[in-house]
């Protein structure tokens, strides 16, 4: 059994996101109609060791010619150096424009392989096979691809939509618990943006998903993809509504940057969770959101083992955080833009946030 969600919008070829169980073993037969040439599976060493053999066996069983190319696991692989190495390998394999890249891994692999596919011969097809919860609910859908530079994360990239996304819930069974919970933060984020009943379910019967229950995970991934794909379909290039997907991210990025993007201290998902808690509390401070909604958001995040208090994540200077937030690439000409909320399920983009109010709020939250 699987569920298919269609993603369509102006300016890109429509594609499907297939969510279900046991999908990796049938990957070859599913993708064969889309693939006229050869395949290169790009993965990280950890994922390749666990799922590479099954993926290759399935492709070969469907009569597809495939080889695998691995990079070291971790954010450091989203670099110019690794991108150059990957593209050099694709050239050495003499891939042509009929050939296809498969991204088998988490968001790091999706972003790196997607960008390599966008650049190779001015763009070849790629298929996303996301293996982290974060990648299944967020990064594999929507066509954002990027690498980092020493000046910041995701600063060099392209919009390049995949031809297909295959999200196999079963592969989440080997994901470390902390990674699963980090992905859960993005699931909760989707409810907070625009679907209060979904958020209620995530805090109720669906809460077992954060501990790895496959049925709850499947439903959470399906609803998250429905929400994200509807938003991306309306606004691929983030001219408007897509910015809502950044709920918790402007606060979160500032915290990650201040901590030197040290995933052992704060993962991206944990930063988003804390960012969501701060966005709701700040919305209350500004008189935009009922206090009980912020309380419920914080309780829901905490129940999933996610951080909600600034002071538990580290020691921060309020001024440094505001400077980072004003410099966020979503900010326009230094004008502070934040995703805030009128309540659970009612996020909106607030431009021209007053830096003094934000500074005072962050101090109340424990920043110096
Ligand atoms: P990741 O890709 O680094 O994966 C996390 C870790 O889990 C890695 O060590 C990986 O080897 C391991 N792993 C992956 N799947 C596994 C599995 N099934 N079993 C065991 N181990 C597994 O990290 P991530 O959290 O998936 O992605 C983070 C990246 O995604 C960041 O670079 C972020 O910028 C990017 N991102 C992109 C978008 C987008 O729209 N393009 C959206 C959100 C995040
Ligand atoms: N992760 C935010 C976006 O895809 O727009």
DSSP symbols for 291-359? HHHHHHHHHHHHHTT----HHHH----HHHHHHHHHHSTTSBTTB--EEEESSTT-EEEE-S--HHHHH
Q: How much is the pTM?
A: 0.96
The domain ranges of the chain are 2-174, 177-364
pLDDT tens-digit map of 184-212: 999 999 999 999 999 999 999 999 999 99
pLDDT band at 331 (very low <50, low <70, confident <90, very high): low
Give pLDDT, residue 327.
81
Residue 329 CA to its chain's centroid (Å): 17
Count of all residues that appear for the chain in the document: 368
Ligand 1 pocket residues where CB is under 6 Å: 44, 46-47, 50, 73-75, 78, 105-109, 111, 131-132, 134-135, 138-139, 142, 144, 153-154, 171, 174-175, 179, 268
Q: Mutate which of 106, 242, 347 to test ligand 2's pocket (most atoms within 8 Å of Cβ)?
A: 242
How far does residue 25's CA lie from ligand 2's centre (Å)?
29
How far does residue 56's CA lie from ligand 2's centre (Å)?
29
Q: Tell me how far apart the alpha carbons of residues 23 and 34 are, in angstroms, rounded to a whole number.
A: 16
Q: Which CATH number is 2-174's, of 3.40.50.2000, 3.40.50.1970, 3.40.50.720, 3.40.50.300? A: 3.40.50.1970
Helix (H) or strand (E) holding 154: strand 152-159
CATH topology for 177-364? Dehydroquinate synthase-like, alpha domain (1.20.1090)
pLDDT band at 57 (very low <50, low <70, confident <90, very high): very high
Helical pair 177-194 and 291-303, crossing angle rounded to 10 deg: 160
Give pLDDT, residue 151.
84
Q: Tell me how far apart the alpha carbons of residues 154 and 156 are, in angstroms, rounded to a whole number.
A: 6
**253 in active site:** yes
Give pLDDT, residue 333.
63
Long-range contacts of residues 284-288, Cβ cutoff 8 Å, at least 24 apart: 285/357, 285/361, 285/364, 286/340, 286/357, 288/340, 288/341, 288/342
């Amino acid at each position: 059994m699987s569920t298919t969600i269609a993603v369509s919008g102006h300016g890109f070829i429509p594609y499907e996101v297939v969510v279900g169980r046991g999908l990796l073993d049938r990957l070859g037969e599913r993708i064969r109609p889309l693939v006229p040439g050869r395949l290169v599976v790009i993965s990280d060493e950890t994922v390749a060791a666990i799922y590479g053999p099954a993926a290759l066996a399935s492709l070969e069983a469907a009569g597809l010619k495939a080889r695998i190319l691995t990079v070291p696991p971790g954010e450091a692989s989203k670099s110019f150096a690794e991108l150059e190495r990957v593209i050099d390998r694709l050239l050495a394999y003499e891939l042509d424009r009929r050939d296809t890249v498969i991204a088998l891994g988490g968001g790091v692999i999706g972003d790196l392989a997607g960008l390599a596919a966008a650049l190779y011969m001015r763009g070849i097809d790629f298929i996303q096979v996301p293996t982290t919860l974060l990648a299944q609910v967020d990064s594999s859908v929507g066509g954002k691809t990027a690498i980092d530079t020493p000046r910041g994360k995701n600063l060099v990239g392209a919009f390049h939509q995949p031809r297909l996304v295959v999200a196999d819930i079963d592969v989440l069974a080997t994901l470390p618990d902390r990674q699963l919970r980090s992905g859960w933060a993005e699931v909760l984020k989707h409810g907070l943006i625009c679907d209060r009943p979904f958020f209620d379910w995530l805090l109720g019967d669906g809460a077992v998903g954060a501990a790895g229950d496959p049925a709850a995970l499947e439903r959470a991934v399906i609803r998250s993809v429905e929400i994200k794909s509807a938003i991306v379909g309306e606004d691929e290039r983030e001219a408007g509504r897509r910015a809502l997907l950044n709920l918790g991210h402007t606060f979160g990025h500032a915290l990650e940057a201040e901590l030197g993007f040290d995933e052992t201290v704060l993962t991206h998902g944990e930063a988003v969770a804390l960012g969501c808690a701060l966005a709701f509390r700040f919305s209350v401070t500004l008189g935009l959101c009922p206090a009980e909604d912020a309380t419920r958001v914080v309780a829901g995040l905490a129940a999933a083992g996610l951080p909600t208090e600034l002071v538990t994540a580290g020691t921060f200077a309020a001024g440094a955080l505001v400077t980072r937030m004003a410099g966020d690439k979503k900010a326009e000409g230094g004008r502070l833009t934040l995703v805030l909320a009128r309540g659970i399920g009612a996020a909106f983009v607030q431009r021209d946030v007053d830096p003094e109010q934000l500074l005072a709020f962050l101090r109340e939250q424990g920043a110096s």
